[in-house]
Amino acid sequence: MKKLTFIRHGKSDWGAGYTGDHSRPLAKRGLRDARRMGKFLSQVGMTPDSIITSSALRAHSTVQLAQQAGGWDCPVRVSDSLYGASPRTVVEEIRREDDTTEVLLIAGHEPTWSETCSLLIGGGELRYPTAALACIAFYSDGWSGISASSGQLLWLLPPRLLRSAGFEH
């Protein structure tokens, strides 16, 4: 079984000085939530074997903070194609992953994340807030075989639930 964990970038800082959407940084809440979600993944045994992230600053920063907080030591691949991607483009990026990876974390953006998750699980409407995690299982030996409706949603977790439960970062 392969497990694919989607993380949406943390809350971004719309008031920060930046030169374009691609370089928009994380807000303080986004920094905290990225760390919280990284620590959570480690504590529940979902440490990624590999990571693919959008090249946008807020997505890449989310991955770095989650990785530090979770204590993960795995390869990170930065992909320009995940910024502004269609669900089909995301699936193609996932299909390129090495089959030795059992747990893959992928970091990116809305509305692509909710649309891609919906595509992979065969439909449904998902609300995907900033820094939320979703985990989809695929009963497959390889990433190249994943396709529409081939996954099973195991869980979708917004960071506010962990904040409400007192889970610290």
Q: How does strand 151-157 pair with strand 133-138? A: antiparallel
The pLDDT tens digits of the residues spanning 76-129 come to 999 999 999 999 999 999 999 999 999 999 999 999 999 999 999 999 999 899
Element (H, E) at 114: helix 112-121
Q: Using one digit for the tens of pLDDT, what is the confidence trace for 84-99? A: 999 999 999 999 999 9
Task: Say what the pLDDT of residue 162 is.
Answer: 86
Q: pTM, whole model, 2 decimals?
A: 0.94
Q: Which 3-state string (H, E, C) describes 53-72?
A: EECCHHHHHHHHHHHHHHCC
Tokens standing for 24?
A: 């928009």
pLDDT at 17: 78
Please provide the average confidence, as pLDDT, over all residues in the chain.
94
Beta carbons of 28 and 80 less than 8 angstroms apart:
no
Computed on alpha carbons and rounded to an integer, the radius of gyration of the chain in Å comes to 15
Amino acid 169: pLDDT: 62
Chain segment 23-54, per-residue pLDDT in tens: 888 999 999 999 999 999 999 999 999 999 99
Per-residue model confidence as pLDDT tens digits over 52-63? 999 999 999 999
Q: At what angle do helices 28-43 and 57-70 cross, to 10 degrees?
A: 40
Domains and CATH numbers, the chain: 2-164 (3.40.50.1240)
Structure tokens at 6: 């989607």
Q: What is the pLDDT of residues 117-165, one digit of tens each?
A: 999 999 999 989 999 999 999 999 899 999 999 999 999 999 999 878 8
* 167, pLDDT greater than 80: no
pLDDT over 90 (residue 8): yes
The pLDDT of residue 14: 83
